[in-house]
Amino acid sequence: MPCHPIFRQNFRPSLLFKKKKLFFSFLFFSLHFPGPLKIHVSLSPQDNETHKNLLGVQIHHKTSMANLKAGTRPPWVGLGAAVWVQIASGNAYNFPLYSHSLKSVLGFNQHQLTMLGVANDIGENVGLLPGIACNKFPPWVILLIGSFACILGYGVLWLAVSKTVLYLPYWLLWLALCVATNSSAWLSTAVLVTNMRNFPVSRGTVAGILKGYAGLSAAVFTEIYSTILRKSSANLLMFLSFGVPILCFVMMYFVRACTPAFGEDSAEHGHFLFIQVASVVLGLYVLTTTILDPIFHFSAEVSYAILVGMVVLLMAPLAIPVKMTFCPLRINQPEIRNQQVASSDETLQGEGNADKTEPLLKSSESSTYLGSFREGDEASEVAMLLAVGEGAVKKKRRPKRGEDFKFTEAVIKADFWLLFLVYFTGVGSGVTVLNNLAQIGIAQGIHSTTILLSLFSFCNFIGRLGGGVVSEHFVRSKTVPRTLWMTCTQIIMVITYLLFASAISGTLYAATALLGICYGVQFSIMIPTVSELFGLKHFGIFYNFMSLGNPLGAFLFSGLLAGYIYDNEAAKQHGLGLITSSISCIGPNCFRLTFLILAGICGVGSVASIILTKRIWPVYQMLYGGGSFRLPQTSTY
């Protein structure tokens, strides 16, 4: 029987015998099936591009989804569970609630307290390990690690603040705070990466929702702190030590990788809108009750009723899978989830036959939607073996913006570092104000910082949610790069810092609200932007590397700058030594110089953002030229 044509030309034994199993398997099929060979393999986009014109071979695209949860409901169940985990991942935002206890009980000065704030931000944002782990382990493993970090870190802080253990060294508390808040990186990475992959064509909306709830978490924790915990720092640290891990243990089963939906769905838009409205209602609810509590002095019964209402609103996203269970909709689009992924023509034109075969060289846009983050290596080796036999192997090129990058390929790109610089200036300056918000309020004569923190938290949430919604609308309708909104908000931040520096009576709340919105926008814009420019395959690493801008800014601007200026001014006011001073500074001069420097830093960020926006405008025209997200068919991964 004649050999299959693919083994007849350019036969290279040295390569083939390295893959003995593959070679003999294909030899067996070629001898018994001389006609066109139909194979079930998983092809990555570079296989489609590279291995062209292979004679007599047809393939059936089938992604490696054996471990994925199929169906229309699981992604929405996972998103609803992710909301709770994102609230838990906001535990690092509670630092202002117990920082005063660290200062008073343990006798720290402002510089030492500020350096603890730096530890808080380092732990929250140093997530390279979670970024690497999310490509190697299922989400429940990432959540488990984050839960144990929470128990260990906050447990040590609770022992110190409650004076259960006396005289713990400062370095141990600093390290414990790093470990405790690093749980945020593990929890956030697990749910964010999983849901971005479950909803690959709505990544801007998903990022805005999840990071919005994370921003709202401070207000939720403040409500719990004021109601159940009776404004006790020791009780709060105990709650963070055990309450957050218990919640994560419950949600582990529901946060899982699911078969992505590739097509546009009007019902999906309605579901996202429902979650967004529910989150806004939750934010207004928590903010209103926090403001009214000190005015009306709610009784214990009313406070608990308010807490129950908050829990009900947090459960609102779970109404979507419940509705899908009892009121299923007929979908005219091809059901891709439980079948093999069809070709780009089948997916986009709505042909319902998912078992249709096609030539090997035909590009699969559904694979490019996935960003190749789930392709197996063995299937690629099979395709490469076929291409070697045919002589169709081409030299591998570097990816272009919009395709999947490896980390080593991305770090040599100017756009990567421009985006990092813009994000660093925005969140680095914003987190400086957040870490010192209690001291800023006291310096300007406001001793109850609970309202300030809740206001910042709610506006931070609005910025995160609104940044995702607005950028998604304009990127689809006008192909406007998302980074344009980072430019606008950083210009507003310059004005806001000047407003803080002026210390005009009555402007503190307005400045705090403006800064919260602009600070939140930085998060919801950076996340989808980095995934669009450099792909979803290694998104976890890119996202967590960009997040390093937060602790780096906290160390430089909060630890070295704001803390030093504050303590120096306090020493001048009270005539005490700078090192031993643990008293408060009063007056606008405590932070005036800091705010002026932060305004200049955001001015630099605005210029960098303008340059970045101009550079990546053609990329967004390519990605969203048709009104919806699509990756280039020449993706190399």
Summarised one tens digit per residue, pLDDT across range 383-428 is: 544 554 454 445 567 788 878 899 999 999 999 999 999 999 999 9
Residue (of 209, 183, 214) closest to 196 by Cα position: 209
Those residues with Cβ within 8 angstroms of residue 172's Cβ, 6 or more apart along the chain or in another chain: 156
Nearest to 139 by CA among 70, 63, 244, 67: 67
CATH topology of domain 74-115+122-256+264-326+404-624: Growth Hormone; Chain: A; (1.20.1250)
Residues 6+ apart with CB under 8 A from 509: 452, 455
Residue 473's H or E segment, with its range, is helix 450-477
Interatomic CA distance for residues 64 and 493, integer angstroms: 46
- Whole-angstrom CA distances from 104 to 107, 172, 231 are 5, 18, 15
Q: pLDDT tens across 45-54, in order?
A: 444 443 433 3
Running DSSP on this structure, what letter comes out for residue 403?
B
Which tens digits make up the pLDDT trace of 129-172?
999 998 889 999 999 999 999 999 999 999 999 989 988 999 99
Q: How many CB atoms lie under 10 A from the CB of residue 263? A: 17
Instruction: Name the band, by pLDDT with cuts 50, 70 and 90, for residue 582.
Output: low
Mean pLDDT over each residue of the chain, to the nearest integer: 77
H or E stretch at 533: helix 508-534
Percentage of the chain surpassing pLDDT 90?
36
- 550-579, pLDDT tens digit by residue? 888 888 998 889 888 988 888 888 776 544
The per-residue pLDDT for 551 is 82
Evaluate if residue 435 carries a pLDDT over 90. Answer: no
Cα 283 from chain centroid (whole Å)? 20
- State the pTM of this model: 0.71
562 closest CA partner among 598, 599, 586: 598
pLDDT at 83 over 90: yes
Most confident range (mean pLDDT) of 245-259, 295-309, 606-620 is: 606-620
Cα distances (angstroms) measured from residue 497 to each of 168, 429, 431, 501: 37, 9, 13, 6
Q: Where are the domains of the chain?
A: 5-67+335-390, 74-115+122-256+264-326+404-624
Asked whether residue 29 carries a pLDDT value surpassing 60, the answer given is no
